[in-house]
Structure 1
Amino acid sequence: MAPITEVEGRRLPLSNLEKVLYPATGFTKAEVLHYYATVAEVLLPHLRDRAVSFLRYPDGPGGQVFFTKNVPPGTPDWVTTAEVPRSEGPSRMVLVQDLPSLMWAANLVTEFHTHQWLVQNPGEADRIVFDLDPGPPATIVHCCEVALWLRDRLAEDGIEAYAKTSGSKGLHLLAAVRGASPERVSDYAKGLAVEAEKAMPRLVLHRMTRSLRPGKVFVDWSQNAARKTTAAPYTLRARAEPLVSAPVTWKEVEECRSPDGLALTAPDLGPRLTDHGDLLAPLLDPEHAGTLP
């Protein structure tokens, strides 16, 4: 029988705590749960009121990996859910609003992915995101170069950008915006991706065409579409090591010289939070939201 723990008055069965989920380092499921409990204070505000898609890997990244968008079977009745519009018709998705819900979801072994809008207002985006994905032999070093160009270009429009690692080989840029539909944000993001390609034609690609990807950074603007989701800040990723989609400073971006220079794992996050707090906290403050031109 799975051990039962109590989290803020909710009883949670926790299963297979000794299972190794990250074989490269021997990182166990118990350590996954400990990690999420450690970062809950900064993670939860970035999940709250956002429908969550789960990328599940219950036997580790080498096992079955699958997306769960609808409310999973067996979800406790105290976990908040919401009806979310989709092109094929509305569906019901999970909201991770509190620590018990977070630990319940973490016990499923999951990456957390969210939309760029809140469930209260799916017709208005409050985030813009760029996913910078390097095609080998390009690396995150090249992503950082592109990120700095995009940061400065966004600043010209009065939009302040923040960076986080993808938790894989790339980089994410995020900014808070107001008063625009997901379609409008997508169009704006695509326009900037096209501008970046014109400014750095040997380095940047704004199209997803696989044959064009080697040696370039694909600026994926499409994740701003209403139906799309992006890995949430502080989520673990399904990789051989417990890599995290972790916020980084612009100084770290500017000084990145190694393909592994921004690879941050779960054990790194405790000390970083002590030193920096939540580097993405301004995204949660309406005062920092920019308006698209």
Structure 2
Amino acid sequence: MSAKTRVEVEGTRLTLSNLDKVLYPGNGFTKGAVIDYYARIAPAMLPHIAGRPSTRLRYPEGVDGQSFFEKNAPPHAPGWVRTAHLPTPGGSRASIDFVIIDDLRTLVWSANLAALELHVPQWRVGPRGGAHDPDLLVFDLDPGPPADLEDAREVAVMLREVLDDDGLRSFAKTSGRKGLHLYVPIAEASDERTSAYAREAARRLEKDHRDLVVSRMDKRLRHGKVFVDWSQNNRHKTTVAPYSLRAAEEPYVSTPVTWDEIEGDAELRFGPDDVRDRVERDGDLLEPLLELRQKLP
């Protein structure tokens, strides 16, 4: 029988289970530690995922066990978990009830289901569930071996210059793995337009730096180069959320970073304790994503 612990979160009683279960065998990081991390980072994380349909990557037996993506609300979801009924083109069902993680209790509930990674799209749903147009544009810089994070840093600076030339400020975070993500907060625009702009910017960068950059999807082209993935601006795709844990050998976090850190030689791999310390010291480095609205050229 699994050990259960009852807690109260925002006035709601939750039953947590198996808190001592090790989910990251490489360093002994437990399910209780996962829940504790998400509860503590919630003030910085929630504004970035609130209103966005969540795709949760669950690892019930830990990162060495089987995993599955969960988009729909499970049958046992409490009635207070907010959901939005949205289409899923190409899925096994035409539409499903997505979980919207708007508050601390839903975040803790999700973590208790061993949802280690949280992924969200570049758009939000309204209070009544209707889907808005994207308010973010994102680039995923993914180095193909032997290219590495150092190459991704170089490409990030190049891409920032392209965006600067178009009058767009950009903000960065680590992917929590081997790459970087660049975000551009925008005034709401259709995903067709955001995808078209992102694709064109990536192609411009590839044209000027063919030795290091590739913007085409063909994996055979990525050897030794950094793939500037613009495709995550498709309405039906998601990106790992800021401050999300990643399922890897260690509990690394997708962490906001400064341009000084990218251009310098700072270590760009952060664990939960590192991230909490950074937020306590520097605040949320991605806070401009919540307020700044820039028009695409």
What is the aligned length?
A: 288
Q: 1:181-192 alignment to 2 at 5 Å? A: 181-192=190-201
Deviations 1:113-143 (A, max 9, x none): 0010011253511000000111111111111
- Single out whichever of 23-32 and 86-95 deviates more from structure 2: 86-95
Distance in 2, matches of 1:74 and 1:22, equals 26
The answer on whether the counterparts of 1:123 and 1:182 sit within 8 Å (CA) in structure 2 is no
Is 1:37–2:39 an aligned residue pair? yes
Is 1:263–2:292 an aligned residue pair? no
**What corresponds to 1:61 in structure 2?**
63
Q: 1:203-218 alignment to 2 at 5 Å? A: 203-218=212-227
**What corresponds to 1:113 in structure 2?**
119
Q: 1:206-245 alignment to 2 at 5 Å? A: 206-245=215-254
Structure 1 residue identity aligned to 2:151 = H
Deviations 1:39-62 (A, max 9, x none): 000001011111111011121111
Kindly report structure 1 stretches of 4+ aligned residues shifted beyond 4 Å.
Answer: none
**What corresponds to 1:273 in structure 2?**
279
Is 1:282–2:291 an aligned residue pair? no
Distance in 1, matches of 2:223 and 2:114, equals 32
Structure 1 residue 211: Cα displacement: 1.7
Q: Relative to structure 1, is the Cα distance of residues 123 and 101 closer, same or farther in structure 2, using a 3 angstrom cutoff?
A: closer
Q: 1:80-119 alignment to 2 at 5 Å? A: 80-88=82-90, 89-110=94-115, 111-119=117-125
Secondary structure of 1:83's partner? strand
The answer on whether the counterparts of 2:125 and 2:132 sit within 8 Å (CA) in structure 1 is no
Q: 1:137-148 alignment to 2 at 5 Å? A: 137-148=146-157
TM-score (norm 1): 0.95
Report the identity percentage: 51
Question: What residue ranges of structure 1 are gaps of 5+ in the alignment?
Answer: none
Distance in 1, matches of 2:161 and 2:113, equals 40
RMSD: 1.2
Secondary structure of 1:3's partner? strand
Choose the corresponding residue for 1:194, options 179, 192, 203: 203
Choose the corresponding residue for 1:167, options 176, 179, 194: 176
Secondary structure of 1:272's partner? helix
Structure 1 residue identity aligned to 2:102 = Q
Question: What residue ranges of structure 2 are gaps of 5+ in the alignment?
Answer: none
Structure 2 residue identity aligned to 1:94 = V
The answer on whether the counterparts of 1:144 and 1:256 sit within 8 Å (CA) in structure 2 is no
Distance in 1, matches of 2:199 and 2:110, equals 33
The answer on whether the counterparts of 1:177 and 1:289 sit within 8 Å (CA) in structure 2 is yes
Distance in 2, matches of 1:272 and 1:179, equals 30
Structure 1 residue 90: Cα displacement: 2.8
TM-score (norm 2): 0.94
Secondary structure of 1:46's partner? helix
The answer on whether the counterparts of 1:115 and 1:230 sit within 8 Å (CA) in structure 2 is yes
**What corresponds to 1:22 in structure 2?**
24
Structure 1 residue identity aligned to 2:140 = D
The answer on whether the counterparts of 1:71 and 1:92 sit within 8 Å (CA) in structure 2 is yes
Structure 1 residue 72: Cα displacement: 1.7
Distance in 2, matches of 1:22 and 1:255, equals 30
Distance in 1, matches of 2:153 and 2:265, equals 7
